[in-house]
Amino acid sequence: MDVQLLTYLFVGGSFALYIGIAIWSRAASTKEFYIAGGGVSPLANGAATAADWMSAASFISMAGIIAYSGYDASVYLMGWTGGYVLLAMLLAPYLRKFGKFTVPDFVGDRYYSSTARTVAVICVLFVSFTYVAGQMRGTGIVFARFLEVDVNVGVIIGMAVVFFYAVLGGMKGITYTQVAQYCVLIFAYLVPAVFLSIMMTGHILPQTGFGATLLDSAGNDTGVYLLNKLDQVVTDLGFGTYTDGTKSTIDVFFITAALMCGTAGLPHVIVRFFTVPKVRDARVSAGWALFFIALLYTTAPAVGAFARTNLIDTVNETAYQELPEWFYNWENSGLIAWVDKNDDGLVQMRAGNPFAGAPSYAGANDDPAARGTYGERLLNNAPTENDGEVYIDRDIIVLANPEIGNLPAWVIALVAAGGIAAALSTAAGLLLVISAAISHDLLKKTLMPNISEKQELLAARLSAVVAICIAGYFGVNPPGFVAQVVAFAFGLAAASFFPVIIMGIFYKRMNKEGAISGMVVGLAFTFAYIVYFKFISPELNTAEHWWLGVSPEGIGTLGMILNFAVAFTVSRFTPPPPEHIQHIVEDIRVPRGAGAAVDH
């Protein structure tokens, strides 16, 4: 059975499973729509949280960054895993005891202000739409290659699937769908990693194969360590050493901190801890989620190293006509391109700036006039002299990895299903957060407090529909590659939510004036910095032009510091919060009576 048919079977089967679960567990009330009725077991919630959190950035893009950036990509591993520990220890149990559906709900009640709630809703929309853009883009990339459609068509297909089970099932449907999606995505990630580890190093575990010596074609130990070979090969090609970093220490610190605190402030992850019955269950489910997450994150460095090694061995110094079939397949999807700069017919992976955006081909795939001397696809946007000969979209590394390694067809199809599961699971969680912020926090709690539960549920579903359309637009027109877009979302979350949640739990004197001003300053500063360097003046997006040497990916940390400083200062010069609010703050930190959340 060929790859195409297997892919249709695997992806179609997974879609049928997700939609079936959504129909079985469809939400009948706002409580089921927002928090799955609050009755999910810790184990199931841990798997759902892991799927919700391990997005297309984790599954598709992170290993691609590791493959190309090497040591510099460690900020993603440290930031995203460290942030989850921060969330589990500092925030989740206390927010669960507070007993509110959403982050804006917590902000609105803790800071006794509809204005604070509205500002929090705006922050949720900024963070969630930025984040969901990466997920829809990831879905489009998977469909582009494996279903042989345009990336934009793939985004639309993903929108349709998410629409069905998110709008129909709400959090209840999404939770059990995400349990299934976690099983699919982790199996799809680990199976090819184990295959490649055995083939290349003889180690079953990719985590140990990452630091092992390579085998030759006969299966004999060469005595050459994988990372040593990779260092030598990329250096010979003119790239930086794989195991050395190029980022400054301050930028590494700021990016890692932004990812950590952004993780702890992500609204779609925080809301998961309201779906379990008790506060203790929130802690247990956090532990399970961390275990499930670790399975993928400890494997990612090995996947990146295996992919980069195999890619260079397979493609570099190979005649275009003799390239393996996978190269042509990805070339047809517009995510790989080659320009012969020295007219020798050989594909040479030398150092240079990437193309300005994705390749724009001169004609259709079957148009002979759009082919060069050696049969290569001709480009409208040919690279400059300073660019390399080969363009490879780093978001395809994990998806192409099984093909590059010549693994069985069923493994390739499995990875396609896993990539879609990763993107759709997080997209659904984000869209639900967006719809809840609009229907529950903006309408029910602020603008239209007298609407019925039935009207609120309808508003939530309509909000999800609008959110899906906007998310699809951002998926078609993304502001960067998947992991980079997600890093921006984490920075916005760190700059807006993390300080007001932390101070709302641990600082009784924190009042509404401080919270509102802190969120506004942190979000505005971070958003403006990212927009300036990524959209207004991208030519200035270099270390010498960054403020204090901090990149747009790390600026969320500085925004967070400003948020803390402004919030603390303003709160000291304005009236303290009411007595009953201070008692609530004391109560949520006391274990006594923590068996059930209290709706204050």
Q: What is the pLDDT of residues 578-593, one digit of tens each?
A: 999 988 888 887 754 4
Give the range among 315-324, 382-391, 478-487, 531-540 with minimum mean pLDDT: 478-487
Provide the 8-state DSSP code for 61: I
For residue 48, what are its two tokens?
């759902």
- The torsion of the CA quartet 410, 312, 326, 366, rounded to 10 degrees, works out to 170
The three-class DSSP label of residue 215 is strand
Give the pLDDT band (50/70/90) at residue 525.
Answer: very high
Reply yes or no on whether the pLDDT at 599 is more than 60.
Answer: no
Looking up tokens 């998947």, which residue turns up?
A: 482
Rounded distance, CA 403 to CA 326, Å? 6
Rounded distance, CA 407 to CA 360, Å? 30
154 and 147 Cβ atoms separated by less than 8 Å: yes
Which of 22 and 597 is assigned the larger pLDDT?
Answer: 22
Reply yes or no on whether the pLDDT at 10 is more than 80.
Answer: yes
Rounded distance, CA 86 to CA 108, Å? 23
Q: How many residues does the chain have?
A: 600
Give the pLDDT band (50/70/90) at residue 242.
Answer: confident
For residue 288, what are its two tokens?
């399970």
Which of 251 and 422 is assigned the larger pLDDT?
Answer: 251
Reply yes or no on whether the pLDDT at 224 is more than 50.
Answer: yes
Reduced DSSP (H G I as helix, E B as strand, rest coil) percent helix, strand, coil of the chain, to 5: 70, 5, 25
Topology of the domain comprising 3-26+51-307+408-588 = Sodium/glucose cotransporter (1.20.1730)
163 and 465 Cβ atoms separated by less than 8 Å: yes
Q: What is the mean pLDDT of residues 516-533?
A: 91
Q: What is the pLDDT of residue 344?
A: 85
Percent residues over pLDDT 70 in the chain? 88
Q: What is the pLDDT of residue 562?
A: 96
